[in-house]
Amino acid sequence: MIVVVKEPNKAAEIREIEGGLSPLQQIVDGRIEVVELINGFDLVCNEEFLFLDLEPNIVVNGELFFGTVFITKADDTGNFVSLSDSEVRLATMILNRMAVQLV
C-alpha cells in the first residue's frame, strides 16, 4: 500500500507499506487515530500524541499534531488503500504545507 509519511522536521515522503493494523501502528509508534481531511484523504496519527513526548509536526485546522503522521485513503468498506500517483503528489504537497516551521 502506498502512503505519504511526514516525520517531524522532515519533508513528506512516499512509502510502500503492508496492509493491516500492525504496520500502521509501527509508522506512528502506537495506537492509530484517523482524521478525515479534504479530497477523501485520511490523516493517520498516534492516538495519544498529546500525552507523549513527541516532536511537533503539522497543523491541521488550527490543531497541532505531534509525532509521525501519514496520509492514506479508505475504500467504500473502510479499508485503507494505496494512493494513486496524482494523490501522492497532492498528499505530499498538503503535508509539506501543514508542516510546523521551527525557528
pLDDT digits over 91-100, tens only? 999 999 999 9
The whole-angstrom separation of Cα 56 and Cα 84 is: 28
Query: Closest by alpha carbon to 45, among 11, 95, 97, 90?
Result: 95
The pLDDT value given to residue 101: 75
pLDDT score of 50? 78
What residue ranges of the chain have pLDDT lower than 70? 102-103
CA 81 to chain centre: 14
